Amino acid sequence: MHKPALKFSTRAIHAGLNSDAFGSPHIPLYDTTTFKYATMEQMERVIDGRDSGYFYTRYGSNPGIVNVEYKLASLEQAGGALAFASGMAAISATLIAHGERGIVCMGELYGGSWELMTAQLGSLGRRVAFIDAGDMEGLRRYLQQGYGLVYFETPSNPLLQIIDIAAVADIAHAYGALLAVDSTFGTPVNQQTLTLGADIVIHSATKYLGGHSDLTGGVVAANADLLPAINAWRKNLGQCMAPETAHLLARSLATLELRVHRQNASAARIAAFLQGHAAVERLYYPGLPAHGGHEIAKKQMSGFGGMLSVALKAHVDAAAFFDRLQLFSLAVSLGGIESLVCQPCRTSHRGLSPALKAKKGITDQLIRVSIGLEDAEDLEQDLAQALA
């Protein structure tokens, strides 16, 4: 059931399977690996797709998984969606499935995606070229050489770089290439990636979509014709989301818009507090007019998100800052109800060489901040006392 005419939060609640056999208003957890049939004829009809029904959970054929996929497709205004065991599962299946002609990767990336592209995809015959975020000439050069898939994050992890989705999509399409965007930081609330022109949108559902730091999952949403190739890898690499996770995720999606709106507002307040603070060397937040991607962010996002990164001045002891924080927890991941801080150079980007970290600005003084759902004034006071 896909109802694009309805508004976002209505679809988050009502898109999906209609109801279960006993009238539950939401789809209950079908904690089963398999489904039984009365006759061989009936089983054949389900396998061939002549009858609706379910077959085997690893294939994604389970009511709870199908239900959450309908919701995700509806929220991204996509022809379909696939639910994965993690964000990295979603990214790897997509890059393997559609990266055969070569992948052009723009801008900076989550460290795990970087490691996949630099250390592993080559062994599967997928070449990857890296270019800077705004390098449209470099993009054209690689596309002329036949590269078939463009990939980037916007906003990016951890420096909140913004890339113009519509502009890159136009260039990619002119060369017959596809554009896949990791919109984990963007969320479908703030950024409608497919409507802007991308062919494939990817999320780590572990972050905002799950939103409670209690599930690990991933999503790919795209036009229906792009999904079978990705689904084949999901099936045979065994990357499907578990029914328990799909159940939690469906529940979380119902509050996604509320949570993200609150996180947008709180992050804007915290950014205003940090901007110009005596301990702050530089603030990375796309809602600031001084941010290099602000104009593009204004054009393609309806909110600037709940993430920001801050480079502390050289004299500030980052370790002491972490130790003094009381509400913000020192932890990896992001997008949950609780506010988190981490040092990307020691966590998500640990695998990068010192030279590359320095080049990208991922220094010891860089702190990534994920704003949760606590009261924004309390969060501001916690940062104030830790920076004092």
Catalytic residues: 58, 110, 182, 207
Q: Which amino acid is at 321?
A: F
Q: Which amino acid is at 78?
A: A
Strands 340-342 vs 329-330: parallel, antiparallel or unpaired: parallel
C-alpha–C-alpha distance, residues 152 and 186, integer Å: 12
Q: 234 vs 57, 230, 266, 344, CA distance in Å?
A: 12, 6, 37, 29
Angle, CA of 254, 255 and 259, to the nearest 5°: 155
Comparing CA positions, the residue from 87, 335, 342 lying closest to residue 212 is: 335
C-alpha–C-alpha distance, residues 199 and 353, integer Å: 32
Stretch that binds ligand PLP, among 85-93, 191-199, 256-264, 365-373 (CB under 6 A): 85-93
C-alpha–C-alpha distance, residues 326 and 308, integer Å: 19
Listed in sequence order, the residues at least 6 apart from 167 whose beta carbon sits closer than 8 Å to its beta carbon are 136
C-alpha–C-alpha distance, residues 388 and 366, integer Å: 17
Length of the chain measured in residues: 388
Which CB sits closer to ligand PLP, 143 or 198?
198
Question: Inter-axis angle of helices 376-387 and 256-274, to 10 degrees?
Answer: 30
Closest approach of Cβ 101 to ligand PLP, in Å? 23
The count of residues interacting with ligand PLP (CB under 6 A) is 15
Stretch that binds ligand PLP, among 74-82, 178-186, 237-245, 313-321 (CB under 6 A): 178-186
Which CB sits closer to ligand PLP, 11 or 86?
86
Q: Which of 54, 70, 110, 147 binds ligand PLP (CB under 6 A)?
A: 110
C-alpha–C-alpha distance, residues 352 and 35, integer Å: 46
Question: By rule CB under 6 A, what string of x and - marks binding of each residue 227-266 to ligand PLP?
Answer: ----------------------------------------
Q: Which of 74, 86, 245, 264 binds ligand PLP (CB under 6 A)?
A: 86
Q: Which of 94, 190, 216, 300 binds ligand PLP (CB under 6 A)?
A: 216
Q: State both tokens at 111.
A: 């460290």
- Under the binding rule (CB under 6 A), the answer on residue 87 touching ligand PLP is yes
- Under the binding rule (CB under 6 A), the answer on residue 182 touching ligand PLP is yes
Which CB sits closer to ligand PLP, 115 or 281?
115
Which CB sits closer to ligand PLP, 187 or 216?
216
Stretch that binds ligand PLP, among 14-22, 179-187, 314-322, 357-365 (CB under 6 A): 179-187
- Under the binding rule (CB under 6 A), the answer on residue 106 touching ligand PLP is no
Closest approach of Cβ 208 to ligand PLP, in Å? 10
Which CB sits closer to ligand PLP, 220 or 283?
220
Closest approach of Cβ 191 to ligand PLP, in Å? 13
- Under the binding rule (CB under 6 A), the answer on residue 88 touching ligand PLP is yes
Q: Which of 62, 154, 157, 300 binds ligand PLP (CB under 6 A)?
A: 157
- Under the binding rule (CB under 6 A), the answer on residue 154 touching ligand PLP is no
Comparing CA positions, the residue from 125, 110, 198, 210 lying closest to residue 160 is: 110
- Under the binding rule (CB under 6 A), the answer on residue 108 touching ligand PLP is no
Q: 43 vs 21, 35, 36, 86, CA distance in Å?
A: 20, 9, 8, 30
- Under the binding rule (CB under 6 A), the answer on residue 153 touching ligand PLP is yes
222 and 194 Cβ atoms separated by less than 8 Å: yes
Binding residues for ligand PLP, per CB under 6 A? 86-88, 110, 112, 153, 157, 182, 184-185, 204, 206, 216, 218, 348
